[in-house]
Amino acid sequence: MLRVILASWFLGVLSLTAAELKVAVLHPLLADLARQIGGERVEVIDLIGPNGDPHHFEPKPEDLKKAEGATLYLVAGMGLESYLPKLKEVLGGKATILEVGATLPALEGACEHEGHDHDHETDPHWWHSIDLFRRATQVVSDAFEVASPQNASQFKQNKDAYRAQLDELEKWTRREIAKIPKSQRHLATAHAAFNYFCKDFGFEAHPVQGLNREQMPDSKQLAELIAELKEKKVAAIFPEKESNPKILQTLTTDTGIRLADPLIADGTGVTSYEAMVRQNVTAIVQGLTL
């Protein structure tokens, strides 16, 4: 009898603590978002890892093996993941791929790919808008509720709690940004990853490279950028932890503008979305108020 009671208790504990939904993510910040909303009810398989580069990552067979059994894949969307058609083909109907940014308002960025016959392309770096990341919590929560309806109330509770955290993060960010005089709100960065941040917080963006790190300026574009940085009296140029092109050293030499602390563009190397925002904002405020 005791054995039966213990077995029943053990099974009850498992049902309360074991994850009931397996989700694979292909962006480091989406891994944090999925854990915030899913809590213990969702097993999150982070295929890209904390130090992966979402611009260049493509899932290999061994990665997909880790995600075996996942019924939902979260990707950033807005054209960031060029491998999606291939992934959809591999997965067939075994899992749903959710492009989290697909329904969010997008910005356009300059397109410098050779052979393109259009002037602009979608800027996929939507996560640098705290407001859009907050909206993404609803997108992910809705998807989790569809995939695991029995946990809908828990997902909603987690989502509301996390949105409250993001509200506080946005208030903190605005207080910090207020320390920078409006005339000094010029953000010169390694590549065009911070347009959403600039739009939300009143900065003018001055990227050295394009929307990805392969879009390098030619000599004419570089000369124009140097002239622009001097004219605007830009105080600092911000490298990125993921990429520090030698071109930034050339810029600082040619303009006399100092190199500030690096920013995190794609969420790599940090433990959470909030940690990335706080680190970037602190670096920006220090770099533009010294």
Distances (CA, A) of 41 to 126, 158, 166, 176, 290: 27, 11, 22, 36, 46
| 29 pLDDT more than 80 | yes
CA end-to-end distance (rounded Å), the chain: 73
Average pLDDT over residues 159-163: 98
Residue in this structure with the two tokens 């065009």, named with its chain if needed: 192
pLDDT digit string (tens) for 171-206? 999 999 999 999 999 999 988 899 999 999 999 999
Q: Give pTM, 2 decimals.
A: 0.87
pLDDT of residue 58: 85
With CA atoms as reference, report the closest residue to 147 among 92, 70, 84: 70
pLDDT digit string (tens) for 255-282? 888 889 999 999 988 999 999 999 999 9
pLDDT of residue 202: 97
Residue 56 — very low, low, confident or very high, per pLDDT cuts 50/70/90?
A: confident
Q: Is 43 helix (H, G, I), strand (E, B) or coil?
A: strand
pLDDT digit string (tens) for 234-260? 999 999 876 656 777 777 887 888 889
pLDDT of residue 5: 39
